């Protein structure tokens, strides 16, 4: 039986084990628009397998969360990758919220974020963090619209073929 972490009207968030991240590769391949903005190139063939390796080395087992967002037909419509209690207890860092191009719009991203915020709150989260690439205007507008506040610009940071500045943003779950 598949475990469900949280749900929206359109999607069911199913945990993905670190050994099964390859199931997300087709989604990463379909989201070339995001990869071009963030990395200046399409997703690498092993991009999904690298997700656990890209986490901070100081994380304890279980701090990294990876969810496949499944539609009503169990198709892969998106993903959410996050870190629990990072960089401090009660702070949850969203590394990536990505919806397939055909799944975007109609408030679906906002619904996923709202359901995830509830999930975080129930599990001890009091603050959500995210970092948005400077050239991702659509992403920055999304995070602002759903209540995230700018904290600080950092970088430039090397990401793929790009040197990116990123805007750190926060949202209280209080």
User: What domains lie within the chain, and their CATH numbers?
Assistant: 6-126 (3.40.630.30)
Give the global pTM: 0.94
The candidate with the shortest Cα–Cα distance to 13, out of 23, 21, 3, is 3
pLDDT for position 174: 85
Bridge partner list, 112: none
The candidate with the shortest Cα–Cα distance to 38, out of 103, 132, 129, 113, is 132
pLDDT in tens, 75-108: 999 999 999 999 999 999 999 999 999 999 899 9
pLDDT for position 2: 62
Rounded distance, CA 119 to CA 7, Å? Answer: 10
Mean pLDDT by 10 residues, the chain (174 residues): 87 96 97 95 95 92 95 96 96 97 94 97 97 94 97 94 95 94
**Distances from the Cα of 110 to the Cαs of 9, 51, 114, in angstroms?**
11, 23, 6
């Amino acid at each position: 039986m598949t475990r469900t972490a949280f749900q929206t009207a359109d999607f069911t968030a199913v945990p993905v084990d670190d050994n099964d991240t390859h199931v997300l590769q087709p989604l990463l391949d379909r989201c070339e628009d995001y990869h071009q903005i963030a990395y200046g190139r399409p997703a690498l063939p092993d991009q999904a397998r690298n997700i656990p390796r890209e986490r901070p080395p100081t994380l304890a087992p279980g701090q990294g969360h990876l969810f496949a967002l499944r539609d009503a037909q169990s198709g892969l419509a998106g993903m959410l990758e996050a870190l629990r209690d990072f960089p401090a207890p009660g702070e949850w860092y969203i590394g990536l919220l990505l919806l397939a191009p055909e799944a975007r719009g109609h408030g679906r991203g906002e619904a996923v974020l709202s359901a995830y915020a509830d999930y975080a709150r129930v599990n001890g989260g009091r603050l959500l963090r995210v970092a948005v690439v400077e050239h991702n205007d659509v992403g920055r507008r999304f995070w602002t619209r759903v209540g995230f506040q700018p904290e600080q610009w950092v970088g430039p940071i090397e990401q793929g073929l790009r040197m990116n500045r990123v805007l750190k943003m926060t949202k209280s779950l209080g």
